[in-house]
Amino acid sequence: MYKNVKPFKKGLRIINKNNSFLLKQLFANEMALHMPVFKRGKGPFLYDHDENRFVDFYLSNGAMLLGHADPKVTKIVKSWIGRGYGTGYYSSSYELLASRVRNLARIDKDDALLFYNSSTDASNGLFSLLLFSGCKTPGLFLSDADGSKTAQAGFFGHEHVSLGEFEKLSLSGYGFIVVRPGRVLSGKKLGAAVERVLDKEILLILDETSFEAHIHSRAHGDVFRNASARILGSWVTAGLSFGCVCVKRKLLERSKCEPDSELFCSGGLFFGLPPLFLLKAAIQCIGVLEKNGGIDGLKNKTAQFFEKLDKRYFELIDDLVYVRTEGSSADSYDQLHAALLQSGLFLSPSSRAIIALSYSHTLELLAQSARTMNSLFSRFYR
């Protein structure tokens, strides 16, 4: 980490010149004041155009379990991308990848899997499968976020609610409910929500497109067993764009359609199947992850990191580190985030997000980072 980060002069010039960048139009002031412009990442570090180095605790919302540009994964991508990158073709690599994903995500051996280019494609594919299975009634999407602010690709047109809204809502008339666990929707609250869905005999879809959602689900294994389908995201491939749909046999048996060539070409279920290099990269990612200790090994590293953090400002929920929200405000966190950047630490701009780790973060680096975080948080949180 740098003690004194250089001003984001080059980054600011890049932002000012790029008038076609939509985020600039939406968040011009915030980007100009706080956001460096990155040119590369390696291991736990990000490097910007102003020659600053940052320790990354955002990691694409926790998806980059191996850090940036893992050399073994990079080698596989370079090797296989030259052999074709068309999508929508079946590959002999599917079975090997399926076996590794089953072990990684604790998927039952009888469940069927289909892989996609992204979690968005996977969500769209699953929604198509629900339609093909005769599910014509509306769906409901439940997450931590305020229902009016929540959106999930593949489920547009269906109602989105927060946990508070869900608890007051009559569930009659819904054909399926997508549940995305999170900081609030975890523990007993997650269990109660799932139980309520099952009592109404509604299809339960588990959205694990984020690593955060998967870890909260993982902490309560009954959720896996009771879900009719699960959607996995890019954390499976340590940050590479990826999606997976996992379906129980009982849902497949409900299918009202007969697969044919027209369905294969026009149905959303088959849009966005991954190219060969992505399948190979996914296999390599999971292999490297397992050799390092898998998800449990990363949880142990997170626990060691948490022990060095000041518990007045941080909390551990289902093996994930969060910033405590009490004693702070949105303005104070914005100021704190800017101070963290000046100290060489890149955290999520949102105080509600996880503080993510990867296997590339050494214990020495984590200890140093924890000391800096504790010092800065003590200035802004009371």
The pLDDT of residue 150: 45
Is the pLDDT score of 325 beyond 90? no
What pTM, to 2 d.p., does this model score?
Answer: 0.89
Query: According to DSSP H, which parts of 41-180 are helical?
Result: 59-62, 71-81, 93-105, 119-132, 163-168
DSSP category for residue 371? H
Question: pLDDT above 70 covers what percent of the chain?
Answer: 84
The pLDDT of residue 292: 93
Distance CA 173, CA 224 (A): 24
Q: Which residues have C-beta within 8 Å of that of residue 305, sequence separation ≥ 6?
A: 321, 357, 361, 366, 370
pLDDT tens figures, 12-44:
777 677 766 666 666 555 544 557 889 999 999
The pLDDT of residue 11: 74
The pLDDT of residue 262: 52
The pLDDT of residue 149: 46
The pLDDT of residue 328: 60
Distance CA 217, CA 35 (A): 32
More confident residue, 163 or 27: 163
The pLDDT of residue 87: 64
- Three-class SS state of 46: strand
Distance CA 116, CA 241 (A): 9
Task: Please report, for the chain, the start and end positions of each structural domain, with discontinuous segments joined by +.
Answer: 71-290, 293-349+356-377
The pLDDT of residue 223: 86
The pLDDT of residue 26: 60
Lowest mean pLDDT among 12-21, 64-73, 75-84, 298-307: 12-21
Distance CA 59, CA 37 (A): 15
pLDDT tens figures, 327-345:
665 568 888 988 999 999 9
Please name which of 379, 327, 297, 353 lies closest in space to residue 62, comparing C-alpha atoms.
353
pLDDT tens figures, 298-308:
999 999 999 99
Structure tokens given for 126 = 């699953």
pLDDT bin (cut points 50, 70, 90) of residue 131 is confident
Structure tokens given for 13 = 């010039």
Looking at domain 71-290, does it have CATH number 3.40.720.10? no
Is the pLDDT score of 245 beyond 80? yes
* Mean pLDDT (the chain, rounded): 85
Please state the rounded mean pLDDT for residues 40-50: 94
3-state secondary structure 266-321: HCHHHCCCCCHHHHHHHHHHHHHHHHHCHHHHHHHHHHHHHHCCCCCCEEEECCEE
DSSP category for residue 235? G
The pLDDT of residue 302: 97
For residue 85, CA distances in Å to 66, 193, 198, 270 come to: 24, 41, 41, 16
In this structure, the strands spanning 320-323 and 314-317 are antiparallel
More confident residue, 330 or 227: 227
The pLDDT of residue 234: 95
The pLDDT of residue 256: 54
Is the pLDDT score of 264 beyond 70? no
pLDDT bin (cut points 50, 70, 90) of residue 364 is very high
Please state the rounded mean pLDDT for residues 315-328: 88
Distance CA 182, CA 159 (A): 18
Lowest mean pLDDT among 2-11, 187-196, 204-213, 338-347: 2-11
Distance CA 360, CA 376 (A): 24
Please state the rounded mean pLDDT for residues 300-322: 96
Lowest mean pLDDT among 63-67, 181-185, 247-251, 284-288: 247-251
